[in-house]
A = this chain, B = another copy of it.
């Protein structure tokens, strides 16, 4: 083809964002309750349409801000979902993004089209609108995979952390208890971790060694980075 297709052959392009957080040792996902049809009253990932001239990464940040007022997160493209029947209104292809946010408030409050927001445990999600169950499940799988080969955990820990802090992030994401001393050995073998000299954690009575991560921030950034 040398011409773009007629407008009727084009598709609506939307974008959905799965933001995870580890809260008190539990992996939770940021959801909004839709105030508009379709799926009015249902829980859904924050999402919306990509504007005609908008780069995808910019659209992801804008959509998340508009729906939830969460800003400035590092969002990563996850996968593009294009089942012809995924939207009852007609063909809509959705580019999904995901993120692991630091523990704590992110300034979230309901935005346009959102009746309510909640961080819900990934192990007890309600049925979600559209194919968002599938998107959420895949985002979680990717998170599980990514934490084993990429230095993801260090982005959501304070600069200095104990091995117990690091293990707690892993356990929440993997959904499994990990053996403490095996875990320490594995982490020290895998990542560039430097003990913080002379400083020990004051949070517990038994002093625990603090570490900081001194490796590269990512193993593979987005295209062109």
> Is A13 engaged at the interface, CB distance under 8 Å to the other chain?
yes
Does A219 interact with chain B (Cβ within 8 Å)? Answer: yes
A residues sitting closer than 8 Å to B (CB atoms) are: 1-5, 7-13, 36-38, 48-56, 77, 79-84, 87, 89-93, 95, 113, 134-135, 137-138, 141-142, 145, 148-149, 219-220, 222-224
A81 to B1 Cα, complex, angstroms: 19
Work out how many copies of this chain go into the complex. Answer: 2
Nearest CB on B from A114, distance (A): 13
From the candidates B56, B81, B219, name the one contacting A223 in the complex (CB within 8 A). Answer: B81
When the two chains form their complex, are residues A82 and B223 in contact, meaning their CB atoms are under 8 A apart?
no
The distance in angstroms between the C-alpha atoms of A222 and B95, with both chains bound, is 14
Q: How far is the CA of A51 from the CA of B12 in the complex (A)?
A: 13
Instruction: Report Cα–Cα, A82/B79, bound state, in Å.
Output: 13
Q: Contact between A5 and B12 (Cβ–Cβ < 8 Å)?
A: yes
Give 10 closest A-B pairs by Cβ, nearest first: A10-B10, A7-B7, A56-B82, A138-B223, A80-B80, A2-B37, A149-B149, A53-B84, A4-B12, A4-B89
Q: Specify the chain B residue showing the minimal Cβ separation from A81.
A: B223
Return 14 A-B CB contacts under 8 Å, by A number: A1-B48, A1-B113, A2-B38, A4-B87, A8-B52, A10-B12, A10-B13, A11-B13, A50-B82, A53-B84, A55-B82, A80-B95, A134-B223, A145-B219
CB distance from A206 to the nearest CB of B (A): 34
In the assembly, what is the distance between CA of A113 and CA of B134, in Å?
36
Contacting residues, chain B, for A134 (C-beta < 8 A): 223-224
How many angstroms between the C-alpha atoms of A3 and B56 in the bound complex? 21
Known contacts: A11-B50, A149-B149. The answer to whether A4 contacts B223 by CB under 8 A is no
Q: Quick check: B2 and A79 within 8 Å, CB to CB?
A: no
11 extra A-B contacts, CB within 8 A, seeds A7-B7, A138-B223: A2-B37, A2-B38, A7-B8, A7-B10, A55-B83, A56-B80, A79-B223, A81-B223, A137-B223, A142-B220, A148-B149
